[in-house]
Amino acid sequence: MRQIPAHIQAVIAPVVESLDCELVGIEYGRQGNRGLLRVYIDKENGVGVSDCQRVSHQLSGVLDVEDIIQEQYQLEVSSPGLDRPLFTLKHFAQFAGHKVKLKLVTPINGQRKFRGTLQGVENEQVIVNIGENELVLALGAIDKANLIADF
């Protein structure tokens, strides 16, 4: 799943924010023969099921009226969870020091999946320690990134 275009995010973000939630990120992908629109939300004290229901209900109405997704799709509103997805440079900076798993758009030395420790952001580049090596990536080179829950 990849982040969706900015014009779709521009419709979704105001709805989420009007319900006192933060829009963490949006993914859109295929699930079977239809699309899956996944919207991640958060709040200072965390989100509950009722927050997800409120946002889902409001988004459903707005997305139906705006008709910005032409195919059939399922809407899923969720908290980021323990394996929080990272979408923006701000997220990568915020969670510096945490373990992360990455899937890249194109392989590096034949490898697309990496696990390491997020070092943060420098010059708009994401820095991850992979063992003894340092991986420096443009945000656009990352297909998917998630924190690894550390218990």
**Mean pLDDT for the chain?**
93
Beginning with the edge strand found earlier in the chain, give each strand of the sheet holding 125-130 in spatial order: 133-138, 125-130, 111-122, 99-108, 142-147
pLDDT-above-70 percentage for the chain: 98
Whether domain 2-78 has CATH 3.30.300.70: yes
Q: What's the CATH class of domain 89-147?
A: mainly beta
> Token pair 């908290």 is at which residue?
79
Q: Where in the chain is the domain with CATH 2.30.30.100?
A: 89-147
Model confidence band, residue 2 (pLDDT cutoffs 50, 70, 90): low
State pLDDT tens for residues 33-92.
888 999 999 999 999 999 999 999 999 999 999 888 888 899 999 999 999 999 999 999
Q: Where in the chain is the domain with CATH 3.30.300.70?
A: 2-78
37 vs 4: CA distance, rounded Å: 9
